[in-house]
Amino acid sequence: MVDTLLLYVSAAKDLIPERDLVGRSVTEIPVSLGWKIFFSPLKEKQIDTNIISQADIHILMLGQDIRAPIGYEWVISRRVNRNPILFLKKEVPRTHAARDFIRTLRDFSNWHTYEDHTDLRHQILVMISKYILTYANVFALRPLELEKLTDWTKELEDGAPEQIDETQGGAGESSVIISTERFVPKDGVLINPKKDDAMEQLRD
């Protein structure tokens, strides 16, 4: 049984709003899983190749230019025979290096384009929800949890993307989000666990 989903997001500094959006959006998915969310370092520091290699889902987003360490992170995934999910921001000018990078990666996977944050959030949530449903046994989803996620994903696919606040956001920093449904401290007492739980607890 796996209690935590590890998500790695490759995105440079020009996509800080998108980085933060992904980190916030995944907590909307109605499951009791914990989340480990890691992003490309914005400052010069060593990349954790183990995290990239072990990620359940690796999302790579590209805007105006291909900047370090995005290309290297893609190479690390390829070395372990994985293809990151590729997202390309529409209607932005791109450097020659970015255009070459786009053409190169087309030989390995398709690019998913997005128009704005609303569109990106919708696509990300659908893809990750489907991934969890595919590996429901691995993540040990309970029957009620599986039913709710199935219904939620179908409604998401069938409905129009929900408009979101484009100005909301942070710095897109890595984080660990633990659900108190699966992770209960051995010592001490949770204070108002319903409020502090990063993911809404599923109720009958």
- Per-residue pLDDT of 24-64, as tens digits, reads 999 899 999 999 999 999 887 789 999 999 999 999 999 99
Q: What is the pLDDT of residue 182?
A: 65
Provide the percentage of residues in the chain whose pLDDT is more than 90.
72
**What are 39-49's pLDDT values in tens digits?**
999 887 789 99
Domains along the chain with CATH numbers: 4-196 (3.40.50.10140)
Name the pLDDT band for 169 (thresholds 50, 70, 90): low
Confidence of residue 90 (pLDDT cuts 50, 70, 90): very high
Mean pLDDT within 57-79: 96
pTM of the model: 0.83
What's residue 167's pLDDT? 54
Residue 96 has pLDDT above 70, yes or no: yes
pLDDT the model gives residue 203? 35
Quick one: pLDDT at residue 44? 75
Contact 131, 181 (CB under 8 A): no
**pLDDT of 189 over the 50 cut:** no
